[in-house]
Amino acid sequence: VSIRTIAVIWVVFLTILVFFKRRKMDPPSPSGSWPVVGHLLSLGRAPHLKLTEWRKQYGDVYTVRMGMEDVVVLNGYRAIKEALVDYKDAFSSRPNVYVLNLVSGFGEDIVMSPFNQAYKEKRKFAYSALRTLGMRMGPGSMEENIRDEARQLCLKLSEQGDAQPSDITDNLTVSVANIICSMVFGKRYDYDDENFLELSKVANKLVAQLGSSQLMTVFPILRFVPGVNSSNRILVECMEEVHAFLRQEITKHRETMDKENPRDFIDLLLAELETQEKTDCFKEENIEWIIQDLFVAGVETTATTLRWGLLYMVLCPEEQQKVQAELDSVLGADHDVPTLAHRSQLPYTEATIMEIQRIRAIVPLAAPHTPNENTTFRGYDIPAGTQVFPNLWSANMDPEFWPDPEKFDPSRFLDSDGKVVTRPESFMPFSTGRRVCLGEQLAKMELFLLFSSLLKHVTFKLPEGAAAPSTDGCMGITLVPSRINMCISQR
Ligand code: HEM
């Protein structure tokens, strides 16, 4: 037997050994993966539904092939909690995804930052700034800013009148964007302010462009293909415009700020920069990216949740009436918008908002996570850098925790005394663990104040004879409902 033959036998033997060893440790994977595209065709336009369906066959942890890459999917409350909370050190980083790198300055922000010291400092600062601003009382406080926006929104709807059915998506987006503007820049903009409209247009274009660049997140090589890569160019142009606007605002703040009396988020950022410069983790260039995060992560998410809320209110008028009856019984003839102090007296309204967030998790697959180093989870090997999707949808719609999950039923969130259940299991609209949504408290304040103000002042109905709108939604960056024209009558 020649040396060559022995060498070939050895290579074949080792290959078989490696193959079987890896196979055994890899999470299972659904059949039907195609070369180049992997499971993309099977996932279709509603990947959260397909991934949830595959859970029944392949269990709580399995792998799908997205293009040329294996992605681990975590399903159900227990697996997601175990990975993101119990193994938080292992699963708290972000993968290296080309388009996401592009829109985050290669991790200069918070959302897409890899898990490292700089991330911890950026997040810690932003968390405490939101808390500081959230705890202020009286005029100019976050609560008062949101209530002002709620008043403006109700006024806008009353000016519109109830003669013509209309879609209120744009008004909702302006209100929510203005809440972030008040917090970040210390001022709101008029509904027809030219600068603001221009910025909103660019921001919307940016989000839409991100949706259409999704193909490039799966096939980064497409960025070298002339024509296909034009969406990248538009993305970069939009970002440059947004950043130019932010730079102007930051310069104005620097010129006028009083370190002892920070007015808003930018003042707090600038003050922090001076102390952080010593640690070299948090730099001047991070400022624009952190502010961009608050707009990108904080506007569309909250407005979309409210849109789903109104859609379920027109589909379930009896639920709308129950919320309105509760609001009337607590607020009486008071025509002003509710305050946060009313929250504990309005359990049905709170439970309804929670049910809206359960039945339509608007970020069904959260943001992608990744292990910082090779990790073994539930007996499976997950190499560092592998994309990991927490399937939040599978937890929110799990029939084990939520019988008849497609039924809109706010009473699921009430205990036998009619009080709101604190920390319900298998309910994760904001995800969980180290990367849990940074704006969760702010979002909850906004959802409560805007939703309750709208329902106190207005009743939403479908036009006579109109077909019931679909609750499927359209999956882009978030799961958005279709635009619907509603009759809006003053109460
Ligand atoms: C991250 C949901 C509003 C700022 C996230 C994540 C989800 C989420 C699912 C991904 C968590 C993960 O990676 O596991 C929502 C929903 C909102 C909302 C449903 C509204 C209803 C906001 C608001 C802000 C905000 C108002 C800020 C003003 C962020 C940031 C992150 C994040 C900065 C990244 C956190 C990190 O990587 O450390 N959000 N969000 N979000 N959200 Fe929100």
Give the confidence band of 285 by pLDDT, cuts at 50, 70, 90: confident
Q: Read off the pTM.
A: 0.91
Report how far residue 459's alpha carbon sits from residue 371's, in angstroms, rounded to the nearest whole number. Answer: 47
**305 Cβ closer than 6 Å to some ligand 1 atom:** yes
The pLDDT assigned to 240 comes to 87
Give the confidence band of 278 by pLDDT, cuts at 50, 70, 90: low
**110 Cβ closer than 6 Å to some ligand 1 atom:** yes
Centre of ligand 1 to C-alpha 301, Å, is 8
Q: Which residues are annotated as a binding site?
A: 437
Quick one: CA dihedral 184, 189, 191, 192, positive or negative? Answer: negative
User: What was the ipTM of the complex prediction?
Assistant: 0.99
Q: Are 80 and 392 in contact (CB under 8 A)?
A: yes
Which of 150-159, 259-268, 315-324 holds the top average pLDDT? 315-324
The pLDDT assigned to 283 comes to 79
Give the confidence band of 216 by pLDDT, cuts at 50, 70, 90: low
**Among residues 311, 345, 315, 314, which one has the least CA distance to residue 327?**
345
CA distances from 444 to 155, 354, 390, 431, 441 (A): 22, 10, 21, 14, 5
- High-pLDDT (> 90) share of the chain, %: 59
Average pLDDT over residues 77-100: 92
Q: Whose CA is nearest to atom 21 of ligand 1?
A: 302
The pLDDT assigned to 24 comes to 44
The pLDDT assigned to 89 comes to 84
Which is higher by pLDDT, 223 or 80?
80
The pLDDT assigned to 135 comes to 85
Average pLDDT over residues 70-75: 96
Q: Does residue 34 sit within a domain?
A: no
Centre of ligand 1 to C-alpha 479, Å, is 14
State yes or no: pLDDT of 171 exceeds 70: yes
Average pLDDT over residues 63-75: 92
Average pLDDT over residues 463-483: 91
Each residue of 349-392: pLDDT tens digit? 999 999 999 999 999 999 999 999 999 999 999 999 999 999 99
The domain that holds 480 is classified in CATH as 1.10.630.10
Give 119's strand partners.
none
Question: What dihedral angle (degrees, nearest 10) is formed by the CA atoms of 57, 79, 109, 265?
Answer: 130
Q: Residue 255 is which amino acid?
A: E
> What 3 state SS string does the chain have?
CCHHHHHHHHHHHHHHHHHHHHHHHCCCCCCCCECCCECHHHHCCCHHHHHHHHHHHHCCEEEEEECCEEEEEEEHHHHHHHHHHHCCCCCCECCCCHHHHHCCCCCCCCCCCCCCHHHHHHHHHHHHHHHHHHHCCCCCCHHHHHHHHHHHHHHHHHHHCCCCCECCHHHHHHHHHHHHHHHHHCCCCCCCCHHHHHHHHHHHHHHHHHHHCHHHHHCHHHHHCCCCCHHHHHHHHHHHHHHHHHHHHHHHHHHHCCCCCCCCHHHHHHHHHHHHCCCCCCCHHHHHHHHHHHHHHHCHHHHHHHHHHHHHHHHCHHHHHHHHHHHHHHHCCCCCCCCHHHHHHCHHHHHHHHHHHHHCCCCCCCCCEECCCCEEECCEEECCCCEEEEEHHHHHCCCCCCCCCCCCCHHHHECCCCCECCCCCCCCCCCCCCCCCCCHHHHHHHHHHHHHHHHHHEEEECCCCCCCCCCCCEECCCEECCCCCEEEEEC
Q: Residue 469 is which amino acid?
A: P
CA distances from 195 to 129, 173, 198, 239, 244 (A): 26, 16, 5, 16, 12
Give the confidence band of 218 by pLDDT, cuts at 50, 70, 90: low
Centre of ligand 1 to C-alpha 18, Å, is 40
- High-pLDDT (> 70) share of the chain, %: 91
Report how far residue 252's alpha carbon sits from residue 82's, in angstroms, rounded to the nearest whole number. Answer: 46
Q: Are 371 and 324 in contact (CB under 8 A)?
A: no
Q: Does residue 39 sit within a domain?
A: no
Report how far residue 380's alpha carbon sits from residue 24's, in angstroms, rounded to the nearest whole number. Answer: 8
**Among residues 266, 243, 271, which one has the least CA distance to residue 253?**
266
Each residue of 429-465: pLDDT tens digit? 999 999 999 999 999 999 999 999 999 999 999 999 9
The pLDDT assigned to 217 comes to 65
Average pLDDT over residues 94-112: 88
Q: Which of 110, 286, 437, 448 to mutate to test the pocket of ligand 1 (most atoms within 8 A of CB)?
A: 437
Quick one: CA dihedral 242, 369, 367, 476, positive or negative? Answer: positive
Average pLDDT, the chain: 88
Domain count, the chain: 1
Q: Does residue 320 sit within a domain?
A: yes
Average pLDDT over residues 214-222: 62
What is the strand order of the sheet 61-66 is part of?
61-66, 69-75, 387-391
Which is higher by pLDDT, 78 or 225?
78
**Among residues 361, 369, 367, which one has the least CA distance to residue 72?**
369
Q: Does residue 126 sit within a domain?
A: yes
Average pLDDT over residues 253-262: 90
Centre of ligand 1 to C-alpha 429, Å, is 9
Ligand 1 atom nearest to 295, measured from its CA: 28
State yes or no: pLDDT of 345 exceeds 80: yes
Average pLDDT over residues 252-261: 91
The pLDDT assigned to 97 comes to 85
Residue 229 tokens read as 């890569």
State yes or no: pLDDT of 21 exceeds 50: no
Average pLDDT over residues 305-327: 97
Instruction: Of 19-23, 87-91, 105-109, give the lowest mean pLDDT range.
Output: 19-23
State yes or no: pLDDT of 22 exceeds 50: no
Instruction: Of 159-168, 195-204, 300-309, 334-343, give the lowest mean pLDDT range.
Output: 195-204
Instruction: Of 22-36, 45-59, 74-88, give the lowest mean pLDDT range.
Output: 22-36
Q: Does residue 467 sit within a domain?
A: yes
State yes or no: pLDDT of 334 exceeds 60: yes
Distance of CA 159 to the CA centre of its chain: 31
Give the confidence band of 203 by pLDDT, cuts at 50, 70, 90: confident
Q: Which of 132, 301, 357 to mutate to test the pocket of ligand 1 (most atoms within 8 A of CB)?
A: 301
**309 Cβ closer than 6 Å to some ligand 1 atom:** no
Q: Does residue 40 sit within a domain?
A: no
The pLDDT assigned to 23 comes to 44
State yes or no: pLDDT of 295 exceeds 80: yes
Give the confidence band of 214 by pLDDT, cuts at 50, 70, 90: low
Report how far residue 39's alpha carbon sits from residue 30's, in angstroms, rounded to the nearest whole number. Answer: 8
Which is higher by pLDDT, 161 or 362?
362
Q: Does residue 38 sit within a domain?
A: no
The pLDDT assigned to 178 comes to 92
Give the residue carrying structure tokens 């106190």.
Answer: 456
**420 Cβ closer than 6 Å to some ligand 1 atom:** no
Each residue of 389-444: pLDDT tens digit? 999 999 999 999 999 999 999 999 999 999 999 989 999 999 999 999 999 999 99
Q: Which residues are annotated as a binding site for heme?
A: 437
The domain in which residue 472 lies consists of 6-26+48-490
